[in-house]
Amino acid sequence: MCSFVVEMKNKKILLVGGAVLASEVLWYIYKRVHNVWSNYINTRKVLEVQIPKSKHDISEVMFFTNESILCRTHFTTEMTCPKNNCPVRYLRHIESYMNNAKQSLDVCMYMFTCHSLSNAIVNAHKRGVLVRIIMDRQMGSNDAAQTALFYNNGIAIRLICQDGLMHHKFMIVDNDLVITGSTNWTMSAFFGNFDHIVVTNQHSLVKPFVVEFDRLWKTFSKSQEN
């Protein structure tokens, strides 16, 4: 009888010991799995931070017509225009691209007399954005042109004088976005002419403009800056 009791106690001890050992093993396995999973989650978070999301594609077209003059009355107000092709809305949109420039603004414009856009360029220059401007010499010498404003604010500007006109009309923002079209940056163009502007950040389209601007800038050296 005593031996039976002892045997039962030993079995009980073995069972308890086995249960304890099993629980320790399970706890060890749990901790290992938990640590591995935590490391995986943390790694995913790091990767999500390090891998930037693809930028939003920009493809916009703006049309100006002879009816655009009807919107000129609210150019200096905060009035909201119901027209989808309101030139004031277009102008504010172009200004917003200038205001969001972080590194550079390269402007190549045949005729430039629009005060709101020239002020946006000056403001960009004042906050440290590198601004370069190329204009046709004859148009840049026009009394209505913004050439003097740019000079007075220390902005680099080159006036091209050649047999042919410097007839380009485009601006590059941060070498990443181009605004181009048939439109001179004048109030008569924005509020009366049949013109258009295209905005895109498609690399295959932006890059040729960047190359062409740099070519013109180097071709017409500092001797043209007067």
Residues annotated as part of the active site: 167, 169, 174
DSSP bridge partners of 198: 61, 180
Nearest residue to 154 via CA among 173, 175, 126, 127: 126
Q: What is the DSSP string of the chain?
A: -HHHHHHHHHHHHHHHHHHHHHHHHHHHHHHHHHHHHHHHHHHHHHHHHHSPPPPPP-EEEEEE-GGGGGGGGGTTS-PPP--TT-HHHHHHHHHHHHHT-SSEEEEEES-B--HHHHHHHHHHHHTT-EEEEEEEHHHHTSTTSSHHHHHHTT-EEEEE--SS----EEEEETTTEEEEES--BSHHHHTTS-EEEEEE--HHHHHHHHHHHHHHHHHS-GGG--
